[in-house]
Amino acid sequence: MRNAYLTALYDLAKRDRNILALVSDNGAVVYDKFRRDFPEQFINFGISESNMVSVAAGLASCGKIPFAYTIATFLTMRAFEQIRVDVCLQEMNVKLVGIGAGLVYSNLGPTHQATEDIALMRSLPKMTILSPADPLEAKYATYAAAEINGPVYIRLSTGGTPVVYKNEYDFKLGRAVTLRDGKDITIISSGGIVHEVLKAADNLEAENISVRVLNMHTIKPIDNQAILKAAGETAAVLVVEEHAIDGGLGSAVAEVILEGKIKSPAFKRLGLNNVFPAGYGTYDEMKEGNFLSGKDIAREAKKLFRK
């Protein structure tokens, strides 16, 4: 996913000299090609996330389009005040790119695991939030972000993200993608965990439970229409997120359903429930240890549907 983002950013910078790559020390090596070919469009701020965001806002005020990239936890937490005041309050055309979404930095512990970032960014007026599910969608999200005149947060996993889309498709900002249609239960998700959701859907289909899978690649603005349609047409809605359930995607979906004034389906949010991520290990081990593997998702979906 990271490499797909970098490829798209390189293409954008080649076409538009106002596109800038800003980094906060980490990952500088992966920018070698960009730095070599566009030295005047690259700035490494060192370990100084807050400064990077404030400078990004200043550059945007001069007509530049900065993409500020660093580890998601450091970007959204250390620089939150600058994002709020310098970027969102002023409605600056700044793109914030957080790498290491969810549990992917599995061996570095909660300091590097971004499990509250969606809640933080959702709270900010004018902020668009994009959470791609695989490399192809990361490319689409990068191009879409460049077209938006205002603040954007792109939430990325690292390299090696499994493929969800085998073919190109028509990416539309604010429109969920129905990866699988079904009439019994809807599972809504976003980001790298979508791959586990599809595994769960396979298991459920084998037990004759028809599953609709919605990939909510745009978390803000969210696709109200797709959510309400699913809630009206299936008996249950399960939201799966590699994130705390408070303030995340599940909260956003619940708000839509409750405010939609429809007969509410059985509903559950599956994610980190008032806890920090548990354990250290490989990415797969972390998903299993935090009950976010395909088998865990299938089990919770069955319980919800039967209820």
Please, are residues 83 and 53 in contact by the beta-carbon 8 Å criterion?
yes
Identify whether 81 is a catalytic site residue: no
For the four alpha carbons of 65, 71, 77 and 79, in that order, the dihedral sign comes to negative
Q: Which of 84, 93, 100 is nearest to 63 (CA)?
A: 93
Cis peptide upstream of residue 39 (ω within 30 degrees of 0) = no
User: Of 40, 49, 168, 241, which residue is the catalytic one?
Assistant: 49
Distance of CA 167 to the CA centre of its chain: 20
Q: How far apart are CA 150 and CA 266, in angstroms?
A: 36
Q: How far apart are CA 154 and CA 95, in angstroms?
A: 8
Residues assigned a catalytic role: 49
